[in-house]
Structure 1
Amino acid sequence: MSAQHSNASCLRAANVLLRDHFCTKPGENVVLTTDENSDTDLVRALADTAAALGAKTCVVDMPRLPFQGSLSDPYIPSPVEAAVMHSDVWLDLTFPYMAGSGAFDRAMEHKRTRYLLVGDASAAGFARLYGSVDFDALFDLQEAADGFFREAQGKHCRVTSAAGSDFSFVMGRPATRKDRRATQPGSQTIPGSAIFYPELETVKGKIVLEAAFHEYYTPLREPLVLEVDGRVRSVSGGSAAKVMDRALRRAGGGEYGNVIHLTVGLNPGAASTGRSFMEDIRVIGCNAIGLGLPWWLPGGGENHPDGVVMNQSLWIGEQMIVENGLPTLAAPFSAEFEKLVS
């Protein structure tokens, strides 16, 4: 793909985000937070698109944060916090990211800011996530999947994978949502991944991770194996186990904590490159598993490490909803999925 074509694809995707998804208005303050690893082509595309829509645009760059969420609080400069406090639209391209930090919480308390975690997406990856499939059709799929998981509360569930994962849980209460038009203050994530929450103490079995975001995002040459019985009981699997052990204990107040959330990747345009956590977890069938303490407990929040299970199979009750990564005909959202891939 030529650089000119790649830039045009990124600009089109930026337009989908800022005009169609976030409904950016003339005169609004659009703030981009970036670090030294942010893709400059993507930053430029987002800033130029916001300006073309009549927004007042500000790019605030800072050193890469060592940790995400509330663990990043000591490292966020005051001018960065001041900028996001006065934003109408905040696009966060830091990774580790600012969601869950004190600066983020204070911006949300103002009930003005519409936030999107863009994270470590590249210009090409962002173009795939926001521009490679029809956005309305993608959101039809998103809403159908989210609605299904909301209705599954209380059901017994199971996840397996070819790498050896085999664990069960009871579906918990939904806690987040994605909006087709992000016109109200609050936090959004990139569509194309359905998130759901287990009852914490019901998660039992073995989780085999093929990629991890602990202190950084990386595919794993040797899988990490988590043994879970209500809480994570052990971590094994080569040198990466030491980093995950450290990240879990840091996020969990000295202990390993729980399995906080699970997901199903649903964007057929997403590519598994091993270089972007934000894109890889939206690849069809991937499961981003949040670990540590949930945000409703002291010390919890968006400071947790994540692991990735690929090509999962998922049962909800007695029905197999996903088989080796692909939605089955039993999945209530299979019709919307087929529209996207046909």
Structure 2
Amino acid sequence: MTRFYEWEMYHAAKVLINDIFKVKPGESVVITADTMSDERVVEAVAGAAHDAGAKVITVWMQASPYGVGKQTDLVLPVEGLAALLSKVDIWIEFNYQWLLYSTVFELAFKENKKLRYMCMVGMGVDQMVRLIGRVNIPILQKFQDLLVEMTRRAKRIRITNTAGTNVTFINDPIRPIVNDKGDASAPGIYMVPGQICWSPIFESINGVIVFDGIINPPFDQPLREPVKLYVEKGVVVKIEGGSEARIFENWLKSFNHPQMFRLAHICYGVNPGAKLTSSIIEAERIWGATEWGLGYVDTTLTGGEPIPAPSHTDGITLNSSVWLDDVLILKDGRFVEPRLAELQKQLGIT
């Protein structure tokens, strides 16, 4: 008897290793996982890397009871793990409690200029199949490249949604736009395909952002009711909603750090296989959603030094509408700009 998605999982792992990372024989690959990770995903990807001729190490660790990012420092052998990651070619992170933005992460990238890293936290078999194995990566890359160029040329951006989002900001022409389109063949920090992320001029962000998908951390399941953030000059000044809004606000306050109330980035979600689940990695790639991060800002977004914070959180705004310099390109979660709409159709989105 075959197991659930056994063949499809094998194909997705091969796509990740061969087509996205383009692993070469002799390269060193480290896969990190914790006790909340999906063992089948780890084994399949390790096997695919071995088949490609890589030198493979899997590292299993306890799941941090304190949270993600620098909160993992409290329970992990920071210096030892960072030393390992500072000497390898590829790091694939399947930890549920992610090391992204942790001290391990910072030390690894400070010492290792050749490192290719992908954050795939909490990925299960079903997600690997839908988000990687069944996605037409070449068409997705064309779509994302076009959307990046259109966004890069825009100065002023407005985002709304039917839940009440109405926020505007101004792009910084110097800061990079991170295009996670399924190409991790060069040194750098990568995410699962289907996301475009950047940091605008923080002080220009004003209005209302409503999260109606998921906020993670502190939640590990979709929201029961929307959480409304009032933003002035890039800082969250008020949070409204039900019990989840109060929990979220108290979680931000618990760090006693002003950066936790400051916006870090904005992203488009454009993976045709993504749907709303308990996984933030999947939810922030839902087609036509936008995602805002708060807290820590890494170097790939600032284009210079990171903006430190004790943690980071991401919230999802579903069925977004986006105007680039007053031109509507995305309406209620579907792209209406003609070139984007045609590629959207080729990706199976109706």
> 1:236 is matched with which residue?
240
| SS of equivalent to 1:19 | helix
Residue 112 of structure 1: how far off its partner (Å) = 2.5
Residue 82 of structure 1: how far off its partner (Å) = 3.2
Is contact 1:157-1:169 (8 Å) kept? yes
Deviations 1:22-81 (A, max 9, x none): 111122221111111111111111111111111121111111133333343333324433
Distance 1:322 1:165 in 2: 14
The 1:220/1:178 distance shift into structure 2, 3 A limit, reads closer
> 2:207 is matched with which residue?
205
Deviations 1:171-202 (A, max 9, x none): 23443344654232221111111223322111
Is contact 1:108-1:185 (8 Å) kept? no
Distance 2:193 2:256 in 1: 28
* 2:341 is the alignment partner of 1:334: yes
Paired residues for 1:129-148 under 5 Å: 129-148=131-150
Equivalent position amino acid for 1:45 in 2: A
How many equivalent pairs are there?
A: 337
> 2:324 is matched with which residue?
316
Distance 2:246 2:92 in 1: 32
Deviations 1:188-227 (A, max 9, x none): 1111112233221111111111210123432111211111
Fraction of identical pairs, as percent: 29
Bigger shift: residues 6-15 or 77-86: 77-86
| SS of equivalent to 1:289 | strand
Report the TM-score, using the length of structure 1 for normalisation: 0.90
Gaps of 5+ in 1: none
Is contact 2:143-2:343 (8 Å) kept? yes
Paired residues for 1:78-89 under 5 Å: 78=78, 79-89=80-90
Equivalent position amino acid for 1:277 in 2: I
> 2:42 is matched with which residue?
43
| SS of equivalent to 1:221 | coil
> 1:16 is matched with which residue?
15
| SS of equivalent to 2:347 | helix
The 1:308/1:302 distance shift into structure 2, 3 A limit, reads farther
Paired residues for 1:166-245 under 5 Å: 166-173=166-173, 174-175=175-176, 176-178=178-180, 181-210=183-212, 211-230=214-233, 231-245=235-249
Equivalent position amino acid for 1:69 in 2: G
Equivalent position amino acid for 1:275 in 2: S
| SS of equivalent to 2:265 | strand
Distance 2:114 2:43 in 1: 24
Is contact 1:149-1:196 (8 Å) kept? no
Is contact 1:125-1:271 (8 Å) kept? no
Distance 2:244 2:141 in 1: 36
The 1:142/1:299 distance shift into structure 2, 3 A limit, reads closer
Is contact 1:68-1:303 (8 Å) kept? yes
> 2:67 is matched with which residue?
67
Report the TM-score, using the length of structure 2 for normalisation: 0.88
Equivalent position amino acid for 1:135 in 2: I
Bigger shift: residues 219-228 or 92-101: 92-101
Deviations 1:119-147 (A, max 9, x none): 12211111111111211111111222222
| SS of equivalent to 1:300 | strand
Is contact 2:205-2:231 (8 Å) kept? yes
Deviations 1:137-167 (A, max 9, x none): 1111122222222222xx2221111111112
The 1:26/1:255 distance shift into structure 2, 3 A limit, reads closer
Residue 256 of structure 1: how far off its partner (Å) = 4.7
Equivalent position amino acid for 1:261 in 2: H
Equivalent position amino acid for 1:127 in 2: V
The 1:148/1:301 distance shift into structure 2, 3 A limit, reads farther
